[in-house]
Amino acid sequence: MVFFDHDDDKPREECGVFGVFGSLEASLLTALGLHALQHRGQEAAGIVSFDGKRFSSERHMGLVGESFGGDLRQRLPGHAAIGHNRYSTQGRPMARNIQPIFADLDTGGFAVAHNGNLTNARILRQELVRNGAIFQSTMDTEVILHLVARSPKKRFVERLVDAMHQIEGGYALVGITGKKLIGARDPIGLRPLILGRHGKSYVLASETCALDIIGAEFVREIENGEVVVISEEGIESIRAFPPRPPSPCIFEYVYFARPDSFIQGRSVYEVRRRMGQQLAAETPADADVIVPVPDSGVPAALGFSEASGIPFQMGIIRNHYVGRTFIQPTQTGRQTAISKKHSPNRAVLEGKRVILVDDSIVRGNTSKKIVQMVREAGAREIHFRSASPPIVNPDFYGIDMAAKSELFAAIHTHEEMVRELKVESLGFLSVPGLYKAIGEPVRDGMQPQFADHCFTGEYPTPLADHQRDQADKERQLSLLDDV
């Protein structure tokens, strides 16, 4: 019997954020919120609280449940707290790179955590270092902290807005000062952030599922380019940038968000089910059974089954009781971190024509193992279906997406992918089909409603660090040619 870890070949997002203001159980609520957001990062977690006099902090490698047990109200007292789940895409996996990070500024203490990547972080960092800044981590979050500290503005919030005007990329951040809980979202809303209410307290979180776990009420999404300031006086909304259409990351619908979350008023589960229905319409195949790749492929497989009339069966079983493999942020780590999580259900697969439905194909390594496993369990035919379009471009906004040279669909033709996977057929959802499933059909001549650069190559913001890297490589190649 073949066992492997399907999670080693999935796109990873950098983190999830959570914050509470106005509750004496702020740290406990934050830990629960981070637990609900655990899928967004399993490498490390941290919480910073404030009790009116002092800031308290705990940061740990590993999962939330392993680190934040006991009475947090004694260890992390206070009426305000922020927390962070980490999966590193910028900054190596080490204790000093765990968020939130804290500093004493001339305006008082400030703790901050953020989700996403700054696409000009290295350029800004080098400039800050030349001007005397001392960095304690390799995270781009610390760049934000230094920019706030060095801003000439007087009010703290003005300093934060000043920093936001210098950074580029995708981010959603939460922070606390001695008097405020602050949330901010990048100018096009690439990374998600929502506002909730828990009794008389307010909550900021990456997803609505984090509100559900603490019994909080959803209020609204923080808008793109918005800064919200929560204090004892209430909530203040600041528009940090001129109005522009939002362009949230489409991968929240494809993979990142938990199925029970809502984005822009849409059920993520229902969107993924419609993706499967649309996939069945676009890439039909004669088969006996629809089999999802658990767990992320289940909603799309259900939709595929509904639209095609082919029975849905759990042909691959995930063992949820095997110890969770520590997610490795490098390709070598992924290949060595394979664990016994999935196994074939021979009673469903043997002698059958199988349609395997997964949410996406990134590097293709695990997809090959899935096919091999199903084939060895006796499947007569295997038709592989991806409920997202082919991923042909890397991401620079907080998704740990492989370099273009590692992306399966970027380096192979369709026929080559069929041969590499050793399947009878292969199908992907189209970009228009994905938009249709979300409920925002593509219209000719209109700007895309989502950041879909991994499929289209149309990046929504400047990529200063990447462009400089490319220029450096070209200069090095030019020097070699001259030798």
Ordered per-residue pLDDT tens for the chain, 483 residues: 333 444 556 655 558 999 999 999 999 999 999 999 999 999 999 999 999 999 999 999 999 999 898 889 999 999 999 999 987 555 555 788 899 999 999 999 999 999 999 999 999 999 999 999 999 998 999 999 999 999 999 999 999 999 999 999 999 999 999 999 999 999 999 999 999 999 999 999 999 999 999 999 999 999 999 999 999 999 999 999 999 999 999 999 999 999 999 999 999 999 999 999 999 999 999 999 999 999 899 999 999 999 999 999 999 998 776 544 433 444 444 433 334 678 999 999 999 999 999 999 999 998 999 999 999 999 999 999 999 999 999 999 988 776 899 999 999 999 999 999 999 999 999 999 999 999 987 666 566 789 999 999 999 999 999 899 888 776 776 665 555
Answer whether the bond into residue 140 is a cis peptide, omega within 30°.
no
Q: Per DSSP, what are the bridge partners of residue 221?
A: 194
Answer yes or no: are the C-beta atoms of 101 and 111 closer than 8 Å: yes
Closest listed residue to residue 20, CA positions, set 9, 3, 34, 7: 34
Q: Tell me if 203 sits within 8 A of 211, measured CB to CB.
A: yes
Q: Residue 94 has what pLDDT?
A: 73
The answer to whether 221 touches 264, Cβ cutoff 8 Å, is yes
Nearest alpha-carbon partner for 345 in 365, 364, 318: 318
pLDDT at residue number 293: 96
- The residue extents of the domains of the chain are 9-248, 267-440
Return left, alpha or beta for 401; rule: phi > 0 is left, psi -120 to 50 is alpha, else beta.
beta
* pLDDT value, residue 456: 94
Selection from 164, 282, 276, 290 nearest residue 228 by Cα: 164
Sheet holding 226-231, edge to edge: 101-105, 108-118, 169-176, 181-185, 226-231, 234-239
Question: Is 162 labelled a binding residue?
Answer: no
Tell me the C-alpha to C-alpha distance, in Å, between residue 89 and each of 41, 117, 466. 11, 8, 14
Q: Kindly state the DSSP code that residue 295 receives in the 8-state scheme.
A: T
Cβ atoms 296, 269 nearer than 8 A? no
Q: Helix-strand-coil percent breakdown of the chain, rounded to 5? A: 35, 25, 40
- Angle at the Cα of 174 from the Cα atoms of 172 and 179, rounded to 5 degrees: 150
How many beta carbons lie within 10 A of that of residue 314, not counting itself? 14
- Give dist(CA 472, CA 466) in Å, integer: 10
Spatial separation of the C-alpha atoms in residues 309 and 39, rounded to whole Å: 32
The set of catalytic residues is 15
Beta carbons of 40 and 256 less than 8 angstroms apart? yes
- Are 115 and 16 a contacting pair, CB within 8 Å? yes
β partners of residue 46: 59, 84
**445 CB-side CA count, 13 A:** 0
- Output the CA angle 225-237-56, nearest 5 degrees: 90
Interacting residues of 28 by C-beta distance below 8 A, sequence separation 6+: 72, 73
Using a CB cutoff of 8 Å and minimum separation of 24, what contacts does 24-29 make?
A: 24/73, 24/78, 24/79, 25/73, 26/78, 26/79, 26/80, 26/81, 26/201, 27/56, 27/72, 27/73, 27/75, 27/76, 27/77, 27/78, 27/81, 28/72, 28/73, 29/81, 29/198, 29/201, 29/203, 29/214
Q: What is the model's pLDDT at position 307?
A: 98
- Amino acid identity of residue 217, one-letter, is E
Distances from the Cα of 441 to the Cα of 26, 141, 244, 248, 251, angstroms? 41, 35, 20, 15, 16
Give the CA distances from residue 235 to residues 188, 239, 352, 368, 414, in Å, rounded to whole numbers and listed in that order: 22, 13, 58, 51, 52
**Token representation of residue 229:** 């300031």
Residue 298 has what pLDDT? 97
Tokens, residue 179: 């008097």
Rg (CA), the chain: 23
- Return the CATH fold of 9-248: Glutamine Phosphoribosylpyrophosphate, subunit 1, domain 1 (3.60.20)
Q: Is 261 annotated as a binding residue?
A: no
Residue count of the chain, please give it. 483
Q: Residue 324 has what pLDDT?
A: 42
Matching CATH number, 267-440, of 3.30.70.1560, 3.40.50.2020, 3.30.360.10, 3.30.43.10: 3.40.50.2020
CB atoms within 10 A of CB 180: 20
DSSP state at residue 252? I
**β partners of residue 61:** 44
Of residues 152, 158, 169, the one with CA closest to residue 227 = 158
Give the per-residue pLDDT at 435. 95
Q: Where are the alpha helices (DSSP H) in 120-189?
A: 121-130, 141-150, 156-164
**Distance in angstroms (rounded) separating the CA atoms of residues 377 and 454:** 34
Is residue 206 a known part of a binding site? no
